[in-house]
């Protein structure tokens, strides 16, 4: 039986970052993942799954020595964020307003995961169990014993970073609150006529927002939010037919595009009733899934990683038992309120812009117009979203 300090279930971006951050504290870590990330080559098409990586997430990836590798591959930096509904009500947020060189980077999820895995492979105190899956686990007062498909692991505590349908969460008996938004989001990779500017934008239209995420060179990732039936219809179209729909519905500033790939997923909100239960700790989507409206999902997950590392580092530094349940609970206290605040804020924006009422539309356009001309409010909101407040 393999014996480690910490067993991490889920080797995606958040799980890999968690394993690496704890290994950097000197803990012996095992990471369980069913599928290793595909190797990178510059000829590969862009993946559909991309993330808008905030300044705070960038700092974490730098700390974990994964950032430079991502930059050596491919990413797209942006300095501005544009938001509008009607043309008369346009708000633009600029990195200069918070004295930063940029607001973030658009990066393929797989490349972030791969860069983290390359660092994990260099750690002598990390065991990568892949391909491998969790079957079940049991916990006592001082340890966890996990039965995997091909092996067994004993650990001081177990981390669930295994996504929105977390098996760790289910086995631990941790309940969730949440709902479906009755909408889906369609991801569309396109080639564009022009190289991308340094801006990402979102326009609110009846039925749901339309978002533009710049990618390197003449490429972009589009996000189309709509009701499930409409997204199902769009998903059934050929790339050529979808291209016509994009050009008819997206703002003219997009220009001409060629659809390369597409995919869709439903929008849901989930929040675990506990982040810590006994020797079980949840991070990322296993603990919370958020409306992707502002691209904060993985950034909240990376904030979880940084918080857990900080809690355990302080416990080790003060001579405490780092895996004591009272110590692990400090992580939950440090993250739950912030996550709930962001989730509630995104829901408020989603609900407000989904309301077709003319008076509500007038009020929200006035709000956008005012936000663009309220420098102190803009600066605070932008700094918080970027994780530098």
Q: Is the pLDDT of residue 368 over 70?
A: no
- pLDDT per residue as tens digits for the range 246-288: 999 999 999 999 999 999 988 888 999 999 999 999 999 999 9
Contact present, 78 and 200 (Cβ < 8 Å):
yes
CA distance to 47, 76, 206, 300, 366, per residue, from 386 (Å): 24, 16, 28, 11, 24
Least confident of 202-211, 214-223, 240-249, 287-296: 287-296
Compute the average pLDDT of residues 214-235. Answer: 94
What phi, psi does 311 have (nearest 5°)?
-60, -45
The number of folded domains in the chain is 1
When the pLDDT of each residue in the chain is averaged and rounded to a whole number, the result is 89
- Is 229 inside any structural domain? no
- Residue 302: which CATH number? 3.50.50.60
Predicted confidence at residue 3, as pLDDT, reads 97
- Scored b (16 or more CB within 10 A) or e, 172-210 reads bebebeeeebebbbbbbbbebeeebeebbbbbbeeebbb
Share of the chain above pLDDT 70, in %: 88
Q: What is the pLDDT of residues 10-45, one digit of tens each?
A: 999 999 999 999 999 999 999 999 999 999 999 999
In a domain, 191, yes or no: no
- Domain assignment of residue 223, yes or no: no
Which range of residues forms the domain containing residue 333?
2-75+107-178+269-354
Give the pLDDT of residue 183.
84
In a domain, 54, yes or no: yes
Asked whether the predicted pLDDT for residue 357 surpasses 60, the reply is no
> Alpha-carbon dihedral of residues 75, 79, 85, 88, nearest 10 degrees?
-150
Q: How far is CA 298 from CA 43, 54, 75, 240, 311, in A?
A: 26, 9, 16, 31, 20
Q: Is residue 318 part of a domain?
A: yes
Q: Let me know if residue 226 belongs to a domain.
A: no
- Whether 337 is in a domain gets the answer yes
Q: Is the pLDDT of residue 241 over 90?
A: yes
In a domain, 167, yes or no: yes
């Amino acid at each position: 039986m393999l014996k480690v300090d910490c067993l991490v279930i889920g080797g995606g971006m958040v799980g890999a970052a968690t394993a690496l951050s704890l290994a950097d504290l000197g803990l012996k870590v095992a990471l369980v993942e069913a599928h290793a990330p595909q190797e990178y080559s510059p000829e590969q098409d862009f993946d559909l799954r991309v993330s808008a990586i905030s300044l705070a997430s960038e700092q974490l990836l730098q700390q974990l020595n994964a950032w430079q590798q991502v930059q050596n591959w491919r990413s797209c930096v942006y300095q501005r964020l544009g938001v509008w509904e009607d043309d008369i009500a346009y708000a633009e947020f600029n990195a200069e307003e918070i004295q930063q060189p940029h607001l973030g980077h658009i990066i393929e999820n797989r490349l972030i995961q791969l860069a983290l895995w390359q660092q994990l492979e260099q750690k002598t105190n990390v065991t990568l169990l892949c391909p491998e899956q969790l079957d079940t686990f049991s916990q006592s007062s001082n340890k966890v014993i996990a039965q995997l498909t091909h092996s067994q692991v004993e650990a001081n505590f177990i981390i669930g970073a295994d996504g929105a349908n977390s098996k760790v969460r289910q086995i631990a008996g941790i309940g969730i609150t949440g709902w479906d938004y009755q909408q889906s989001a369609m991801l569309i990779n396109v080639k564009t006529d022009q190289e991308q500017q340094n801006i990402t934008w979102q326009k609110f239209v009846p039925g749901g927002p339309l978002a533009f995420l710049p990618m390197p060179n003449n490429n972009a990732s589009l996000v189309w939010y709509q009701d499930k039936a409409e997204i199902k219809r769009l998903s059934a179209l050929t790339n050529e037919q979808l291209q016509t729909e994009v050009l008819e519905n997206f703002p003219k500033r997009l220009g001409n595009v060629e659809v390369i790939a597409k995919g869709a997923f439903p929008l849901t909100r989930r929040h675990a009733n506990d982040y810590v239960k006994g020797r079980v700790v949840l991070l990322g989507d296993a603990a919370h899934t958020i409306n992707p409206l502002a691209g904060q999902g993985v950034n909240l997950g990376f904030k979880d990683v940084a918080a857990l590392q900080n809690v355990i580092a302080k416990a080790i530094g003060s001579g405490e038992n780092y895996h004591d349940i009272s110590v692990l609970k400090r992580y939950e206290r440090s993250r739950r309120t912030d996550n709930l605040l962001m989730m509630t804020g995104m829901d408020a924006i989603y609900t407000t812009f989904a309301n077709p009422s003319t008076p509500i539309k007038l009020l929200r356009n006035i709000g956008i117009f005012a936000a663009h001309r309220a420098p102190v409010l803009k600066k605070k909101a932008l700094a918080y979203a970027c994780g530098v407040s």
